[in-house]
Amino acid sequence: MLRKHQKRSARPIEVIEPPSGAEVVVSVASVTLLVMVLGALSESPVWLLGLLVFLPGAASALCTVRQTQFVFAWTGLVVIAAMLLRQGDGWPWLDRMLMILLTLVLGAASVYACHRRIGREQEMLRLRSTAAAMQRHILRPLPLLTDDVLVDGVYEPVQEDRLVGGDIYDVVDSPWGTRLLIGDVQGKGLPAVGAAFAVIGAFRATAHREPTLTALVDALDASVVRHNSYAAQTGDDERFVTALIVSVDAHAEVQAINCGHVLPQVLHDTTVSTPALTFGVPLGLAELAAEPATVDWFAFPPGATLLLTTDGLTETRAADGEFYPLTESLRRLVPLSATKLPRTLYDDSRAFAGEGEGEGEGEGEQHDDVAILAVRRSPNR
């Protein structure tokens, strides 16, 4: 049976963390004291009004509704007291009343704005929680352990506000061994996510049913074709999906079908090798192929690490346009464990592109989503 370890979402759900009640009281008291000192020095209430009237507006952007109400009440009392007590400064009563009215209107508007902000934050939190739950169903949290393999890795959408991108992966513990899928949907956005969901759904349903990889790939191709037919009815573009399907069992060799995807890498001892796989057509384009999908075999000995990636890693570029040297980097990182390798490799690619070193002309790019899986044989084997 497939077992999950260390369930975690791809990205944390963030909201504005309000200050504590004590922080609000201290801040408001400090600003009030400062205003009183400035008002005394200037002998004019303009300082007081100019600085205190907008305190509730600042609170509405950072505080809770109750804290904003407190700031509003405090500001209203201070301004009203100042206007009523300072009678000898030459200000007409009409101006005083207008200032008091302005304070009350701005304070009430601030409380209302805070209430609306909190509502929007809660709605966004619910939406992102729903998206995170959907992601856990579309992309299983890593690491994953089956009777045959331990799979760990990283998944990073190129857009930080997206939980799910166009890259896909999945692991199924079937009667014929553990079957792994890694793929990349053409294009971006929600249509790409729809095609990704179609492929993953077909993979999970068919991997348990079809005894051969060729039949499994045929089912995946049919799922993309069906998705494209539905997309055509709604005016969306047709998609194809590059994919690599691997089957690992107790034998020293594994089976694989490459549907136009990035080749895997095998790290063993101090060596890095790239299996020579037949380059087939992507899923959704099988009817254009002259020959059916071909099953290849390659060695995956005990103690080795099988690395599966998407082209978001291999097509990462430095500022001078040079592509990320995956093979050379793996030779440096081959001593790392399968648990540490994916994250280290991803961070290394970002450093190669110059990300995190500042904005500007000298920065490269990661132009696509990145998925990196490191596969090792299960400790039980």
Q: pLDDT exceeding 70 applies to what percent of the chain?
A: 81
Give residue 174's pLDDT: 94
Give residue 175's pLDDT: 93
Give residue 369's pLDDT: 79
Distance CA 65, CA 67 (A): 5
Give residue 158's pLDDT: 54
Inter-axis angle of helices 65-85 and 93-138, nearest 10: 170
Give residue 281's pLDDT: 94
Give residue 7's pLDDT: 39
Instruction: Confirm if 376 and 304 have CB atoms less than 8 A apart.
Output: yes
Stated pTM of the model: 0.68
* Interval 123-138: pLDDT, tens: 887 776 666 666 666 7
Give residue 102's pLDDT: 85
Give residue 5's pLDDT: 41
Segments of the chain scoring below 50 in pLDDT: 1-14, 160-161, 356-362
Give residue 309's pLDDT: 94
Phi, psi of 291 (to 5 degrees): -130, 155
Give residue 13's pLDDT: 42
DSSP state letter for 170: E
Instruction: Confirm if 130 and 138 have CB atoms less than 8 A apart.
Output: no
* Interval 290-302: pLDDT, tens: 788 899 999 999 8
